Amino acid sequence: MKKFLKYLLVFIILILIAALVFLFRPVASKKIQTTASEPVVDAVLVGGGIMSATLGTYLSELEPDWQIRMYERMDQVAQESSNGFNNAGTGHSGFMEMNYTEEKNGKMDISKAVNVAEQFEVAKQFWAYQVKQGVLNNPASFINPVPHIAFVWGDNVKFLEKRYAAMVQNPMFRGMKFTENADEIKQWAPLVMQGRDPAQKVAATRMDIGSDVNYGAITTQLVNHLNKQANFKLQTSAEVTGISQNDDKTWTVAFKNLKTGKSEYVKTRFVFIGAGGAAIKLLQMTGLPEAKQYAGFPVGGIFLMTDNPAVTTGHTAKVYGRAELGAPPMSVPHIDTRYIDGKKYVLFGPFATYSNKFLKNGSQLDLLNSTTKSNVLPMTAVGMENLDLVKYLVSQVMMTDQDRFNELKKYYPDAKPEDWRLNQGGQRVQIIKKTPGKPASLQFGTEVFASQDGSVTALLGASPGASTSPYIMLGLLEKAFPQEVKGKWNPKLHEIVQSYQQNLSTDPALLNQVRQYTSQTLGLKYTPPATAANDEHAAVAKAQ
């Protein structure tokens, strides 16, 4: 009871501070007055991460004559959430992420896992197309085959067995293997079995088509290619300070040149805010009434990391466990093979940290500056409804180095402290959103925002995020440019993403065709299931 009261007191103090700050803070949105008539560009991309890079690539290919501008606060792109050391580098496919499946009334609901798996197939098609076009370089520079393994012990074995039985019925998960044999698991992922009690009941599933992805490398390569286009311009060290609508329905984006200290402006017909955790603050600058429904709560993450060859050579897998009660999805424990800039690492975590910053390189005033009259009460209500999450975050912040190492030993019993060091990951901002019938709800995952006229868009939220960025940006195009997507852009979109507007989970023949194409192009490991030939014959017969 004393611990609970302590957690509650910490939360109440944070809310009171936020409430005081919002009472005295200036209004976020204001009209930008420019001193001269500016030429109007077609699109402004705020933020130099994978979302902006992906959207910019789509737009450049769909409208080669469009004038596109990208503004990044850091001196290089891909330095925040997209950076290889700031995220888990997982090609999220629902193969091993047990938080995407849940048991309801005795039945296993795998719908979220199916959706994520389909979305990642879109991502692989987008990247494969860019490799074919010479936009992305050697695939091994950004994606590598790494089996995806779900690993449990004790009471969770039954859950994993039920999960496996449900998943293999869907074409997206054909080829998945399940075992309770400790020796087989040792072959799959030696580290998790080294030093483990042989009497402990364990189980695992495995998908060989899994991957490790360096989203920073993808971002850098996409932007480098865009930079070669005459109609594209990247400006780094440029911090956006205002976004306001003009009388002619265009938008003016104001930014500070951090190298010169001068304020500059650009007018545009379309704005995309892809600034990671800072997207909520920037969206508030627009003054759009639709933006008032959002607030955000920052959650940081740290990993234990090793590059000791004695450890890394014995582990080529992404092994995900099951999250503790109250833990957010981004905190699912996992011990991962990572390939970053040509070097192999193993990371374990994440462990949640608390900071008021919305970006790793942000300000401690970010949370308070995002608090408004419209969202302070929803933020309070969400906190009171999610005390388990509050308790979890506080307990994570209070962990010692020994506590973290003890968590690692649950997945790698023979781990030695001298092999591991802490690595500070990126900041994520969980969305708090007003919902009908209640003050607000805490949203996990990613959400696309689009103004009523589609002229302002934004990407909010966290995982699966980067891994499904090509799918997410397709959805954004559909919201912002519905007529173009249905009309003149449609053939090109089908060229880029072969399965566009088709359901892979109900079309095994197409799924097999797509996976063979992307795996061959990207260097992934895919063995068509035994049923694939029959599926293709059935599809041909149906067509005839």
**pLDDT tens across 179-206, in order?**
999 999 999 999 999 999 999 999 999 9
Q: Which of 173-182, 369-378, 434-443, 520-529 has the lowest mean pLDDT?
A: 369-378
Closest CA to 510 of 500, 496, 495, 520: 500
Q: What are 129's two structure tokens?
A: 């197309």
Pairing between strand 334-340 and 318-320? antiparallel
Q: Look at residue 3 and tell me whether its pLDDT is greater than 70.
A: no
Is residue 11 included in any domain, yes or no? yes
> What integer pLDDT is reported at residue 538 of this predicted model?
43
> What integer pLDDT is reported at residue 144 of this predicted model?
97
159 vs 16 pLDDT, higher one: 159
Whole-model pTM? 0.88
> What integer pLDDT is reported at residue 322 of this predicted model?
92
Q: Which long-range contacts (CB under 8 A, 24 or more apart) does 494-502 make?
A: 495/129, 496/58, 496/61, 496/125, 496/126, 496/129, 497/122, 497/125, 497/126, 497/129, 497/470, 498/125, 499/121, 499/122, 499/125, 500/122, 500/474
Q: Look at residue 17 and tell me whether its pLDDT is greater than 90.
A: no
> What integer pLDDT is reported at residue 328 of this predicted model?
58
Is residue 510 included in any domain, yes or no? no
Is residue 267 included in any domain, yes or no? yes
Alpha helix (H) residue ranges in 106-197 = 111-132, 156-167, 182-188, 190-193
> What integer pLDDT is reported at residue 160 of this predicted model?
97
> What integer pLDDT is reported at residue 361 of this predicted model?
67
**pLDDT tens across 120-134, in order?**
999 999 999 999 999
Binned at pLDDT 50, 70 and 90, residue 357 comes out as: low
Q: Look at residue 515 and tell me whether its pLDDT is greater than 90.
A: yes
- Residue 397: phi, psi to the nearest 5? -65, -30
> What integer pLDDT is reported at residue 36 of this predicted model?
52
Which single residue is written with the structure tokens 């093979």?
Answer: 337
Supply the DSSP symbol for 21: H
The reply to whether omega before 464 is within 30° of 0 (cis) is yes
Binned at pLDDT 50, 70 and 90, residue 510 comes out as: very high
Beta bridge partners of 435: 438
Is residue 76 included in any domain, yes or no? yes
CATH number of the domain at 477, please.
Answer: 3.50.50.60
Closest CA to 309 of 269, 337, 273: 337
State the Cα–Cα distance between residues 467 and 337, nearest whole angstrom.
16
Binned at pLDDT 50, 70 and 90, residue 460 comes out as: confident
- The domain in which residue 358 lies consists of 2-486
Cα distance between the two ends of the chain: 69
Alpha helix (H) residue ranges in 313-444 = 366-369, 376-385, 387-397, 401-411
Q: Look at residue 512 and tell me whether its pLDDT is greater than 60.
A: yes
CB-neighbour burial class of residue 343 (10 A; exposed 0-12, middle 13-18, buried 19+): exposed
Domain count, the chain: 1
Is residue 535 included in any domain, yes or no? no
Binned at pLDDT 50, 70 and 90, residue 73 comes out as: very high
332 vs 507 pLDDT, higher one: 507
Is residue 499 included in any domain, yes or no? no
Beta bridge partners of 443: 431
360 vs 31 pLDDT, higher one: 31
> What integer pLDDT is reported at residue 86 of this predicted model?
82
Is residue 520 included in any domain, yes or no? no
233 vs 443 pLDDT, higher one: 233
Other Cβ atoms within 10 Å of 403 Cβ, number: 12
31 vs 103 pLDDT, higher one: 103
> What integer pLDDT is reported at residue 278 of this predicted model?
82
State the Cα–Cα distance between residues 112 and 101, nearest whole angstrom.
7
- Cα-to-chain-centroid distance, residue 472: 10
198 vs 275 pLDDT, higher one: 198
- Residue 23: phi, psi to the nearest 5? -65, -30
Q: Look at residue 16 and tell me whether its pLDDT is greater than 90.
A: no
Is residue 29 included in any domain, yes or no? yes
State the Cα–Cα distance between residues 536 and 212, nearest whole angstrom.
29
State the Cα–Cα distance between residues 492 and 277, nearest whole angstrom.
31
Longest dimension (CA), the chain: 76
% of the chain exceeding 90 in pLDDT: 66
**Residue 434 CA neighbour count, 13 Å, CB half:** 10
